[in-house]
Amino acid sequence: MARRKSVQNMPYSLKSIGTSGTQVVSATSASFNISNFTMCIRVNPQGVRDSVFRGLMTLSDGTISNRIVFGSSHNTTSTVTYFDNNNGIENFTKILTDGKWIDLTLTKDGDDMILYFDGAIVDTMTLPTPSITGTFDRLTIGNTVAVGELYKGLWTDAKLFSQILTPSEVADLHFTGQNPYTPVVEYRCTEGSGSTVADSSGNGLDGTITTATWSTDTPSKRRKSVQNMPYSLLYDGSGDYTSTPYTASMQITDTFTCFGWVKLNDKSSANAYSGVFGCRGAAGTQWMLYWDKTGQEYRLNLNTSSNQFLFTGSKINPIDGWHFMSVRKTGTSVVLNIDEAKYTATCSGATINAINQAFVTGVLDGVVPTIWNLPGNITRLRYYNTYLTDSEIADAQFDGVYPTSGLILGYDYTAGSGSTLTDVSGNGNNATITSATWSTDTPSKARSNISVARSNISVARTDV
């Protein structure tokens, strides 16, 4: 079962607009003169797309020649990045999603680093050159100290530890908000006004705000319920799928909602197109959510006045692991939700053209189901002939509360064996499982994602 997140007090955040002055600089102190540490910050990026390196948390002496930066490198994506004056910019493989809050943690032990997203290990790095060991006396948030390298977005709950937190300590911090040690500095952003953010560590290292503004947009304070998801289906990317034969209850003309929990296991070696769920068969595409390998993004194929491909070039590429994914359409309005991030598009034409299509998961094409398969897992799925509201989508994601009105089909994935997904809608729209296997890897067990111990990370480095 998943660990329940506590309702942490995060009433405010600080918003940086990405131009001159949008930063927070701590009071100076010898306490910042550390080379091994843990940095933590919750961020919500706001769409910078240029060639500039952007700073989130920077240790320095106030000059550009002596600094360590935890930040992001922009271009087409926001790649999480490390910088110091000995190594220059070193990119992790993980990117940040615009419009979505995420809890970032970086531990640095000599030249070995571990990156965490929401309490779980997502990447590691060994620096090619021994890291700088300068004399640092301040922490800057929202900038690298250099001119123009400013973060654009929201942030809150920033803290710096002189200790190297273990994976279990990082997870506990994410889920409970309780510090395992006294931080060097901690900015909880509880003020909501003024030009100072207080240091709650007890060390008196208050931060001075320049230009950044207070906001009530913070990480969700909603308590995620521990939903009972004992099983998922595992698709190996080669001929695995499920299919629900068309019945009259499955026909839609203009409006629908479909959501489920999805885990894409290998983005780089996936098929050119990997179908997630939707309706596509002999009559063509009705609608289909799929992963595009070349674009490295999720897209929606929708057939209304024409065969359209929505969200192309949007770089909707969430981090690895389980995600709540929802597709909604009403009229010409289309919405894609991935976790708490919301993406919108407009389609040409309101009426969906293709009819009498089977509902499939794990494959792009219901007619030729042995190509364009998904290498991943799916569980807890619902399909409606109505347009669910944002509140109803949130209820489904956070609390496992699913509307019953307009439900075409629903699969809870509780069997754990057999070749049938039993429909809970009452319409008898059972799905046949082909080759996909039952798995105990589910969102309910997401806590297991942080079980990688530091001792299992083999990094070779030479101490100088």
List b or e across 378-409, with b for residues whose CB sees 16 or more CB atoms inside 10 angstroms: bbbbbbbbbbbeeebbbbbbbeeebbeebbbb
Say what the pLDDT of residue 454 is. 27
Q: Three-state SS string across 28-86, please?
A: CCHHHCCCCEEEEEEEEECCCCCCCEEEEEEEECCCCCCEEEEEEECCCCEEEEEEECC
Q: How far is CA 202 from CA 138, 187, 394, in A?
A: 16, 11, 37
Same fold? 13-223, 232-447? yes
Asked if 217 and 154 touch (Cβ cutoff 8 Å), the reply is yes
What region does 47 belong to: left with phi over 0, alpha with psi -120 to 50, or beta?
Answer: left
Q: What tokens does 238 get?
A: 């080669």
Query: What's the CATH code, domain 232-447?
Result: 2.60.120.200
Whether residue 403 is predicted with pLDDT greater than 50 in this model: the reply is yes
Asked if 187 and 198 touch (Cβ cutoff 8 Å), the reply is yes
pLDDT digits (tens, 9 = 90+) for 282-309: 777 899 999 998 888 899 999 998 889 9
Q: Which residues touch 68 (CB under 8 Å, ≥6 apart)?
A: 58, 59, 60, 82, 83, 84, 108, 131, 132, 136
Q: Tell me the CATH architecture of domain 13-223.
A: Sandwich (2.60)
Please say whether the dihedral angle defined by the alpha carbons of residues 100, 105, 111 and 112, taken in this order, is positive or negative: negative
Segment 344-371 shows an average pLDDT of 89
How many beta carbons lie within 10 A of that of residue 253, not counting itself? Answer: 11
The span from the CA of 379 to the CA of 375, in Å, is 14
Say what the pLDDT of residue 165 is. 96
Whether residue 51 is predicted with pLDDT greater than 80 in this model: the reply is no
The span from the CA of 385 to the CA of 379, in Å, is 20
Say what the pLDDT of residue 270 is. 75
Backbone phi, then psi, for 283, in 5-degree steps? -85, 5
Using pLDDT thresholds of 50, 70 and 90, give the confidence band for residue 175: confident
Whether residue 90 is predicted with pLDDT greater than 70 in this model: the reply is yes
Say what the pLDDT of residue 6 is. 46
- Separation of first and last alpha carbons in the chain: 45
Say what the pLDDT of residue 449 is. 35
pLDDT digits (tens, 9 = 90+) for 199-251: 999 999 999 999 899 999 888 644 455 467 899 999 999 999 999 999 999 98
Say what the pLDDT of residue 318 is. 72
Whether residue 452 is predicted with pLDDT greater than 50 in this model: the reply is no
* Displacement of CA 390 from its chain's centroid (Å): 18
**Can you give the residue ranges of every domain in the chain?**
13-223, 232-447
Percent of all residues in the chain with a pLDDT value above 90, rounded to a whole number: 59
Q: What tokens does 178 get?
A: 């309780």
The span from the CA of 380 to the CA of 236, in Å, is 19
Say what the pLDDT of residue 279 is. 93
Backbone Cα Rg of the chain: 23
At position 401, the amino acid (one-letter code) is: V
DSSP 168-234: HHHHHHHHH---SS--SEEE-----SSSEE-BTTSS--PEEEEE-EEES--S--PPPP------EEE
Whether residue 24 is predicted with pLDDT greater than 80 in this model: the reply is yes
Whether residue 66 is predicted with pLDDT greater than 90 in this model: the reply is yes
The span from the CA of 289 to the CA of 298, in Å, is 7
- Dihedral, CA of residue 346, residue 348, residue 350 and residue 353, to nearest 10: -130
Say what the pLDDT of residue 48 is. 60
pLDDT digits (tens, 9 = 90+) for 302-330: 999 888 999 988 777 776 788 999 999 99
